[in-house]
Amino acid sequence: MILNVSGRTDIVAFYTPWFMRRYHVGLVDVRNPIYPKLVSRIFFNDVDLIVFCTKNPHPILPYLKEIKEPILFHVTLTPYKQEIEPNVINKKQIIEDIKMLSEILGREQVYVRYDPIFLSDKYPLEYHIKAFTKICEELDGYVSHIIISFLDDYKNVRKNMNVLRIKNFTNEDFKILGLAFSKIASKHDMSVQTCSEYNTLEEYGFVVSDCVSRELAKKITGKNYSVWKGRNNKYCGCASMVDIGSYNTCSHYCKYCYANYDEDKIKENIKNHHLDSTMLIGYLESDDEIKIRKK
């Protein structure tokens, strides 16, 4: 089993103490986001690989040596200011933490996500090329792989159009970005690829792969995995994973986020987070149906 921690919220940034308690106890419960009374129980003895997804790896750095399973990190590092990412920590600190992750785990275990990319008057193509160049320069020797994706039409995106002020990509924009990013990454001995995109930019030198490919998962764990059908994206071929997060629980409040779309609900959920609970938000209830998640 591959554990995703987490595509639904930033557990590392905001809930590391809870995660480490669950890890040492040996089990975690996860409510089904569609059928809330259905709860999956996951035992860490059944976990082969943990994939951490975060904008702020700093809180978990002191605990990494306590985790015995193989680890992959996907660290999102974007060039947007506070009006887009209100509570993301200083980007210089994120870069330093990525370097630390690389030193602890090795550069092949740390992926940087420049994700999502959107264009506006404030964030034109030239801005992204300059920002991407700086990131690659700073992380030269520490990172081997960078993943990008483009902004999708999520509920939260539509709600925040007055802040994002998005401009559509043209074919020429894709070409300019693709050629520039490919050249910059190559200069710093990095591969660059898209994530779950129809436009893979392969013709401009991008690698065609998945974020956590089945080939990579097998290389790390020695086991075969099916495609992650839970992603509900026809362009995603990632290895099947189990996400232990909950939607509307992330305090970054990014204006483009697909997992956060109700700020009042976020505040309510955060108040209902308990360090001693088996699940991220709330407690198990007497009428919950618990199913053991098998390998």
Domain ranges of the chain: 2-292
Can you tell me the mean pLDDT for 131-142? 98
How far apart CA 145 and CA 10 sit, in angstroms, is: 21
Q: What pLDDT, on the 0 to 100 scale, is given for residue 176?
A: 98
pLDDT tens per residue across span 250-288:
999 999 999 988 889 999 999 999 999 999 999 999 999
pLDDT tens per residue across span 39-49:
999 999 999 99
pLDDT tens per residue across span 73-102:
999 999 999 999 999 999 999 999 999 999
Where does the pLDDT of residue 231 fall: very low under 50, low under 70, confident under 90, or very high at 90 and above? low
How far apart CA 258 and CA 8 sit, in angstroms, is: 8
What's the pTM?
Answer: 0.95
- 62: preceding bond cis by omega (within 30 degrees): no
- For β-strands 27-31 and 38-43, DSSP reports them as antiparallel
